[in-house]
Structure 1
C-alpha cells in the first residue's frame, strides 16, 4: 500500500510537471510575441498546477520549483513596459482578475516585485498589500509555499538601511514589520496543519509538518536556504542571537554544500562583535554563553561538512572569527593563537593557495593582530604566527614580511632581545634570503630595492641599552643577513655596521679579551666581528662600499685609542683600494683619470692650522692632470676627426685659481695666464667641436677672474697681472 502510494504520487508529480511545461511553452511564445493577454492566460493555467492537494511537501516542492523558474522569466517580461505596453500600476490591477486565487496571488507577487522596483509606489505599501492578500490561501502547504515565494521575490527590495528603497516614507522598521508579519502568517499555517483533519490522519499531518521543517535544510534550493539564514540573522536582535547561539549554529553544518554559509556566519560574528563593542557591559554575558568556543566549533563543523569548500572560504571564516576574538576578547591571546592554529591545520591539508583572493585573506588574517595591538611584540608571542608564515608561498611570504616591517616602522617599535630578533627574522626570511625555488634574478629591480631598504631601516629598530644583549642582537642579525646573497648584502651590511659602531661609541674607553664561552661586549671584539662582516662585501663586487665602511671603522677604532685595530682597518682599505678600486691614474677612461688626479691635489694642501701644505706635490698633480687632458683631447680628435670639448682644461683652470687664492707659492699668475691662453686657442680652433656648456663654463670662469681684479685689495692685486 505504501509502495502504491509512492507510485501514485510520482505519477501525479509527473502530470503536474508536464502541465507546467506545456503551459510554459505557450507562455514563452506569447512573451516572444509581446502578447500580454496570452502570457497572463497561460501563466495562470501553469500556476493552476500548484492547486493540487495530492502531493507530499517534498514532491510539492519539486513542482513548486518548476513553476518558480518559469516565473523568474515572466518577471523579466513584466519589467519591460515597452514590450507589453501596460503601465506597472495597471498591470498590478490587471493580474488580480485571474480566475483562481492561487495563480492570481503568484502573479500578484511577481508584478508586485516589479512595482516596488519601479518606485512608483512606496515599497511598504506594496509589501503590506501583498502580505495581506496572501491570507486568501489558507491551505497549509500551498499557503506556506506561496508566502515563501513572496519572501524570495521581495528579499532584495526591502526598505533596509542603505537600500535604494529606503526613503522618507519607507524605513527599516517597515521591512522588519513585513518580515515578521509574513513569518507570523506562515507559523499560523504550520499550526493549522497539525489541527487539520480528523484524528486518524494526525500521524500523517505530523509527518508532513516534519517534512516541511526538514525542507528548509534538506531542499536543494541553496539560495532559499541562504536567504532564510540571512533573514534570521538580520531580523532578530543581538541579545536574542547571543542566547540562542547554539541552536542557530547547530543548523549551519546541515545546510547544502553550495550555501554561502561563510557570508552568513561572518555577518553573525560581525553583528555580535559590534554588539560587544557598543555595549561593553554585555561582555560577561559573552563569556557566560561561551560564544567564542561555540563559534569556533560551528566553523569547524561547517568546514568539515563542506568538503568541497574552497580554501578561501575557510580562511574567510577564520578571519571573521579572529576579528570577533580581537574585538570581544582582546586580552585573550590564547583565542587569537587558537584561530591561527586552525588556519595552520587547514593550510596543511591544502598547502597551495588557489588564487589571489585566498592570498589576500591570509594577509588579512595575519595583519589583524598587528592592527589591533599596534605592536609586533604581541604577535611574536603567538606560537602559530610563524607556523602560518612557513606555510605561505614565496610571494605571499614576502608581502606579509613587508606588512610586518611597515608595522614596526610605523609604530616605532624597538625589538630589544636577541630571542625576539631571532623570531622576527624567521618571519621575514623571505626578504633576507632566497627561499626555495626563488631567485633574485627574477625580481623586479624597483620592488627589490624597496624591500631591501625596508630591511635596512628595520635594523635600526633593534636596540637594547644593555651592551651584552645588544651584542647578541648584532650577532643574531649578522647570522641571518650574511646568507642573503650578493644582491642583498650591499643593502643590509651597512646598517648592521653602523649599529655596531653605535655600540662601540657607547663602550668608548672599554677594552677586553674573550672570556669564557660568550663574547663580551668590548670594542676590540666588536671590531673583529665588523672586520669579518665587511670583508664579505669585497667578495660580492661592492669594493667601494667596503672601502668606505673600512674607513668608518678605522675612524671609530682611532677614537677608542685602539691604534693596532685602526691600522688594520686602514691596511684593509688600502689593499682594497689598490686591488679593486685601482689608483686614480689607472682608471680606464682618460677624463676619469684626469678628474681623479686633479682631485688628489687636495690631499697635499689641507687648509687648516695644522694641515699639510705641500705646494710642489699640488703642482705635480695639476701638471699631470693637464697632460692627461691633452691626451684625452688628442684621442677625441683621432676618434671624431675634430677636437673634443675643452671642459677638462676649464676644470683644471679652476683648480689653479683655488690654490692660487689659498696662497700656494708654486701656482703663479703666469701659469694661470698660460692656461687661459691655451683654452682660448682651443675654443677658437676651427677643428674644435662647438660645445655650449664648455663655452659657458669658460666664460663664467673669466668673469670670475675679472671680478677679482675689480674687487681690489690684496687679492685683486694678485690677479692684476692676469690678462683675460
Structure 2
C-alpha cells in the first residue's frame, strides 16, 4: 500500500476492486469488503474517489445494508477532519476539498435534507474566515475548489430558489474575486433559464439579483480596462434580460408583480450605459403585461385605473433612465410602444398619458436624432404608431399627425422625404379618433396634399434612376387610394406619373443593373394597372380612362 499514490488508486486500484465486489453478488461479502476499503486505504484516497465509491454502493446487492457502509465512510472522513484540526490549521484548499466530498455525500444520500448541505457550506465559510485576504483568486487552487463546491447545489437542485434556502451560499460566493463571482452568476442565471424557474416574490427577486450582481452592476474589484468586449457584454446582458421575464408573481396576485418590477428596477438601475439598453426594455414590457392583467380584472378591483396609471408612470421612469444616458433611438421606440400599450388599456387618464409618451418621443427626435437614416427610421415608427392609436380625441390627434407630416417633409435626403410623405398618408386615411368611434378617418384631402408634395419632392431628385423609382412607388400609392375610393385621387394623376416615367425618365437611364431593376418595377406596376382596366370589378372604381 505504501507504493500506491492517490492517482494510481483512483485510476487502477479502486475501479478494479469495486468491479470484483459488485460482480460477486454475495451480500455479506460485499458489505464486508466495502468496509475493508474504507478502513484500509488512506483518507486522501477516499476524498478523491468519493463519487466512484458512492456509484458502486448503488450497484450492491439489495440485501446489503448500504447505510452501514455509508456511516462507516462518514465516520472515517469526520475523524480525518478532526485530526486535521488538532494538528493545527490544515491547508484551506484541503478543507474545501473535504467539504466537497461531504456535500456530495449529502446530495446522494440525503437530497431532501437542506440542513446538511447548509452545514457543509457553513463549515467552509468558517474555514475561509481564517484567510487574511478578502477575496479569493478564482484561478488559484482554493478558488477552483470553492467554485466546485458552489456549483454542486446549483447543478444538483436545478432550482435557483433552493439556493435561497441556503443562507451561507451567498456569503461563500461573495468570498470569490470578480471573475469567480461572475462565473457563478452566469451559472445561476443559465440554470434558471434552462429550468424555466419562475421567481414569484419580491424577496426572491432581491436575493436572486443579489447573487448575480456581478452581471448587473459595476463591482469595486472588477478589472479596469481590458475587460469583456461589447459582444460578450451584450450576450451576458441578454441573459439577464431573459431572466427578467421569469420574474412572475402568481396569476391572482398582480400587486406582487408590481412590487417585483419595482424591486428589479432598483437593482438594475445602476447598470450603466453598457447594461441598461438590454435590461430596461424587459422591465417596460413586463409593465405593459401587468397593465393588461389589471385591465382584465377591472370588474374585481375598483382601484385598477390608479394602478394602471402607476404602472405607466413606472414605464416612463424606466424610459427616462435611458434618455439620461444620452440614448435616443431606443427611448423613442419605447415611448411610442408605451403609447400603443396605453391605447389598449382604456382608463381615466389614458389619453393624457399616451399623448405625453408621443410628445416625449417627438421632443427626443428633434433634440437628439441627427443621423438622416435614423430620422427616417424613427418617422416610420411615428407614422405607424399614430395610425394605430385609437384613444385620442380630434383635438389631440390633429397636432400630432401634422407634426409627423411636417417632420417628414423636413428630412435631409429627397428620397427619404418622398417615402416618408407616402407613409404619413396612412395616418390621415386609416387612423381613428374617439369621435369617430373606431371608424377610419378617411381624410382624402390631406392624403392628396401629402401625395402632391411627395411628387414634387421626387421630381426634384437629380438622379433619374432614383426619380423614376420614387415615381413608380407613387403610382402604386395613388392606385391604392384610388381603389380605396379617395375622391381627391383621380385617374389623371396616375396617367401623368406613368407618362413621365415612360417618356421622360426611362429613356434617359444608362444601361445597367439599375435600369433593369427600375424597368422591371415599372413593367410590373403598369401590367397590374392594365389588368385592372381590362378586367373591371363592379365593386371597384373604374380604370377605363387609364392611359398606358
Per the shorter chain, which TM-score range?
Answer: 0.7 to 0.9
Out of 262, 285, 290, which is 2:68 matched to?
Answer: 285
Aligned positions of 1:473-488 closer than 5 A: 473-488=260-275
Aligned positions of 1:178-257 closer than 5 A: 216=2, 227=8, 231=13, 235=17, 239-240=31-32, 243=35, 247-248=39-40, 251-252=42-43
Q: Distance in 2 between matches of 1:402 and 1:494?
A: 20
Q: Distance in 2 between matches of 1:226 and 1:550?
A: 63
Secondary structure of residue in 1 paired with 2:542: helix
* CA-CA distance at 1:662 after TM superposition: 0.9
* CA-CA distance at 1:390 after TM superposition: 1.7
Q: Out of 391-400 and 321-330, give the one that drifted further.
A: 391-400
Out of 457, 477, 482, which is 1:660 matched to?
Answer: 482
* CA-CA distance at 1:664 after TM superposition: 1.1
Aligned positions of 1:53-64 closer than 5 A: none
Q: Distance in 2 between matches of 1:355 and 1:234?
A: 34
- Aligned CA distance change for structure 1 residues 549 and 243 (closer, same or farther; 3 Å): same
- Aligned CA distance change for structure 1 residues 723 and 233 (closer, same or farther; 3 Å): closer
Could you tell me which residue of structure 2 aligns to residue 272 of structure 1? Answer: 54
Could you tell me which residue of structure 2 aligns to residue 593 of structure 1? Answer: 417
Q: Distance in 1 between matches of 2:144 and 2:339?
A: 48
Could you tell me which residue of structure 2 aligns to residue 445 of structure 1? Answer: 230
Per-residue CA shift, 1:629-661, capped at 9, x if unaligned?
A: 333x22xx5xxxx86563222222221121111
Q: Out of 681-690 and 425-434, give the one that drifted further.
A: 681-690
Q: Is the 8 A contact 1:512 1:524 kept in 2?
A: no
Q: Distance in 1 between matches of 2:511 and 2:142?
A: 67
Residue 701 (str. 1) matches residue 484 (str. 2)? no
Could you tell me which residue of structure 2 aligns to residue 324 of structure 1? Answer: 105
Q: Distance in 1 between matches of 2:338 and 2:426?
A: 23
Q: Out of 707-716 and 384-393, give the one that drifted further.
A: 707-716
Per-residue CA shift, 1:357-383, capped at 9, x if unaligned?
A: 877655543332233223211122111
Could you tell me which residue of structure 2 aligns to residue 619 of structure 1? Answer: 448
- Aligned CA distance change for structure 1 residues 688 and 424 (closer, same or farther; 3 Å): same
Q: Is the 8 A contact 1:242 1:272 kept in 2?
A: no
Q: Distance in 1 between matches of 2:408 and 2:145?
A: 56
- Aligned CA distance change for structure 1 residues 522 and 568 (closer, same or farther; 3 Å): closer
RMSD in angstroms over aligned alpha carbons?
A: 3.8
- Aligned CA distance change for structure 1 residues 701 and 285 (closer, same or farther; 3 Å): same
Could you tell me which residue of structure 1 aligns to residue 458 of structure 2? Answer: 629
* CA-CA distance at 1:716 after TM superposition: 7.9
Q: Distance in 1 between matches of 2:327 and 2:175?
A: 35
Between 1 and 2, higher relative CO (CA 8 Å, sep ≥ 6) is seen in 2
Q: Distance in 2 between matches of 1:718 and 1:612?
A: 23
TM-score (norm 2): 0.75
Q: Is the 8 A contact 1:405 1:455 kept in 2?
A: yes
* CA-CA distance at 1:592 after TM superposition: 2.5
Q: How many residues align?
A: 480
Residue 334 (str. 1) matches residue 86 (str. 2)? no
Structure of greater Rg = 1
Q: Distance in 2 between matches of 1:561 and 1:445?
A: 41
Secondary structure of residue in 1 paired with 2:167: coil
Could you tell me which residue of structure 2 aligns to residue 676 of structure 1? Answer: 498
Q: Distance in 2 between matches of 1:494 and 1:461?
A: 14
Aligned positions of 1:135-174 closer than 5 A: none
Q: Distance in 2 between matches of 1:650 and 1:356?
A: 69
- Aligned CA distance change for structure 1 residues 697 and 306 (closer, same or farther; 3 Å): farther
Per-residue CA shift, 1:604-627, capped at 9, x if unaligned?
A: 111897111111111111222223
Secondary structure of residue in 2 paired with 1:562: coil
Q: Is the 8 A contact 2:137 2:180 kept in 1?
A: no
Out of 610, 629, 632, which is 2:439 matched to?
Answer: 610
* CA-CA distance at 1:560 after TM superposition: 4.8
Structure 1 alignment gaps of length 5 or more = 1-147, 149-215, 253-260, 514-519
Structure 2 alignment gaps of length 5 or more = 22-29, 370-374, 376-406, 433-437
Q: Distance in 1 between matches of 2:86 and 2:506?
A: 87
- Aligned CA distance change for structure 1 residues 360 and 708 (closer, same or farther; 3 Å): farther
Q: Is the 8 A contact 1:432 1:484 kept in 2?
A: yes
Aligned positions of 1:174-573 closer than 5 A: 216=2, 227=8, 231=13, 235=17, 239-240=31-32, 243=35, 247-248=39-40, 251-252=42-43, 261=44, 265-272=47-54, 274-276=56-58, 282=65, 284-285=67-68, 288-289=71-72, 291-292=73-74, 294-295=76-77, 298=80, 311=93, 317-344=98-125, 349=131, 351-353=135-137, 355=139, 362-436=146-220, 437-438=222-223, 442-465=227-250, 466-508=253-295, 509=298, 510=301, 512=303, 522-558=307-343, 560-573=345-358
Q: Is the 8 A contact 1:233 1:268 kept in 2?
A: no
- Aligned CA distance change for structure 1 residues 557 and 685 (closer, same or farther; 3 Å): closer
Could you tell me which residue of structure 1 aligns to residue 435 of structure 2? Answer: none
